[in-house]
Amino acid sequence: MALFSRKRAPRTPIDGVDTILADLDGVVYAGPGALPFAVDSLNAAAKSARLGYITNNAARTDASVAEHLSSLGLRVEASDVVTSPQAAMRLMAQIVPAPATILVIGGDGLVDEVQKAGYTVTRSAEDAPRAVVQGFAPEVAWTDLAEAAFALKLPEDEGGIPWVATNTDWTIPRERGVAPGNGTLVSAVHTAVGRLATVAGKPEAPIFEEALARFGANKALFIGDRLDTDIMGASRVGIDSVLVLTGIDRPKHVLAAPEGSRPTYILGDLRELHLPYPEITEQDGVFEVNGAAVRVSGADVEIVAESGAQIDLLRAGAAAIWASGTPVFVLRVPERLYDDPFHRP
């Protein structure tokens, strides 16, 4: 991974990349409005690489997402958007081939993909559905979750029907803050029936595989704001990743990132896609980035030197902690490393 390279000429994160895949919430926008610098940075990146968007948001159609992105100033067609409902239908076709009746818990984005895949939509467990597919929509109510529970009362090994979730994101960034996501609704059904859903969206592979195949990617880079879905998912399919600190995860989460959820690049905002990414060097256990230097000594994380940029101190701290192999919760971490001047919703 590029993060621990000792001797490489500084390159931008997008050098040599032919396909850039970007998450939406917390990367491009929070609520209806664009995040600072996101639109101009992505439009510039599109001049040298194929640009596509991957979203776990199951509430909207690919066409409506493309329309929203276009209204923000991006050049986007519906075919540029890969949604978790599309990935869910890819999975569903392997489990319950169309035509069949499926109980849909979710909004227009999910209903549209279910119908395009050749299935009949029902909202009632009394219609003997062959499967349940569940995705987030603001209008999903207790009565919808109850229908899912009624349909899923039997385990599959006792003759029960399959259950596919578009995603299990616990939270969604909004203009006013962080709100509950589809993971909370899936968990409610799980609590009622004691079953686990098969998941199609990030961090699972199906949604990434759909995007890589659709865009014919050879060297892809994924941009996300969450370690547990975006970065983990990119790692699972073997592509480089950017964590941008404009969404959910903060410096404290970066320092605690477990193996398999560590980004190739850590950016304060998307302008840094176009800047040389600083070399991270190590000597005698001291990790240095642009004059910021951090080491782990026993149970102590020590700031050896500081530069003017908090992002470089965070990069050095993450490199030192990750290389130590010691979980961050048993380390004494200076509060300075947790400083968070980065934009967030």
Is 23 annotated as catalytic?
yes
Q: Are 195 and 89 part of one and the same domain?
A: yes
pLDDT grade, residue 5 (50/70/90)?
very low
146 with 224, same domain: the answer is no
Is residue 278 within 8 A of residue 290, CB to CB? The reply is yes
Q: Among residues of the chain, what percentage have pLDDT more than 90?
A: 88
Domain limits for position 320: 278-345
The set of long-range contacts for 68-74, using a CB threshold of 8 Å and a minimum separation of 24, is 68/29, 68/32, 69/24, 69/28, 72/28, 72/29, 72/33, 72/34, 72/39, 73/34, 73/39, 73/40, 73/43, 74/28, 74/39, 74/42, 74/43
Does 79 fall in a domain? no
Looking at the structure, do residues 100 and 159 belong to the same domain, yes or no? Answer: yes
CA distance 167 to 203: 8
User: Mean pLDDT, to the nearest integer, of 179-189?
Assistant: 95
| Residue 215 and residue 271 in one domain | yes
Question: In this predicted structure, what is the pLDDT of residue 89?
Answer: 95
* Residue 132 placed within a domain: yes
Catalytic residue (choose from 15, 18, 25, 284): 25
Q: Do 99 and 30 lie in a common domain?
A: no
Q: Is position 2 within any domain?
A: no
Task: Clarify whether residues 92 and 176 are in a common domain.
Answer: yes
Name the residue type at position 198: T
What does the pLDDT read at residue 169?
87
Q: Quick check: 217 pLDDT over 70?
A: yes
* Residue 307: inside a domain: yes
Region 240-253: mean pLDDT is 96
Residue 127 appears among annotated catalytic residues: no
Residue pLDDT, tens place only, 16-45: 999 999 999 899 998 889 999 999 999 999
pLDDT at 175 over 80: no
Q: Both 312 and 336 in a single domain?
A: yes
Q: pLDDT at residue 59 above 50?
A: yes
pLDDT of residue 215: 96
In the predicted model, is pLDDT for residue 281 greater than 70?
Answer: yes
Query: Are 195 and 95 contained in the same domain?
Result: yes
Average model confidence (pLDDT) for the chain?
A: 94
| Same domain? 185 vs 265 | no
Q: How far apart, in whole angstroms, are the C-alpha atoms of residue 323 and residue 214?
A: 36
Q: Of the listed 15, 18, 23, 339, which one is catalytic?
A: 23
Q: What are phi and psi of 284, to 5 degrees?
A: 55, 40
Alpha helices in 26-99 (DSSP H): 38-45, 62-71, 84-95
Q: Same structural domain for residues 126 and 179? A: yes
Supply the pLDDT for residue 42.
98
For residues 270 and 41, is the Cβ–Cβ distance under 8 A? Answer: yes
- pTM here is 0.87
Parallel, antiparallel, or unpaired: how do β-strands 286-289 and 292-297 relate? antiparallel
Write down the pLDDT at residue 71. Answer: 97
Q: What is residue 152's three-state secondary structure?
A: coil
Spatial separation of the C-alpha atoms in residues 103 and 5, rounded to whole Å: 50
The domain boundary, picked from 226, 252, 277, lies at: 277
At residue 4, does pLDDT exceed 60?
no
Question: In this predicted structure, what is the pLDDT of residue 60?
Answer: 86
pLDDT, residue 344, reads 59
CATH at residue 41: 3.40.50.1000
Structure tokens at 229: 């879905």
Q: pLDDT tens digits, residue range 109-155?
A: 899 999 999 999 999 999 999 999 999 999 999 999 999 999 999 99
Q: pLDDT at position 9, please?
A: 61
Residue 70 within any structural domain of the chain: no
- In the chain, the number of structural domains is 3
Q: What is the pLDDT of residues 311-322, one digit of tens each?
A: 999 999 999 999
How large is the average pLDDT for residues 48-59?
Answer: 93
- Per-residue model confidence (pLDDT) at position 193: 97
Cα dihedral 314/183/55/148 (nearest 10): 180
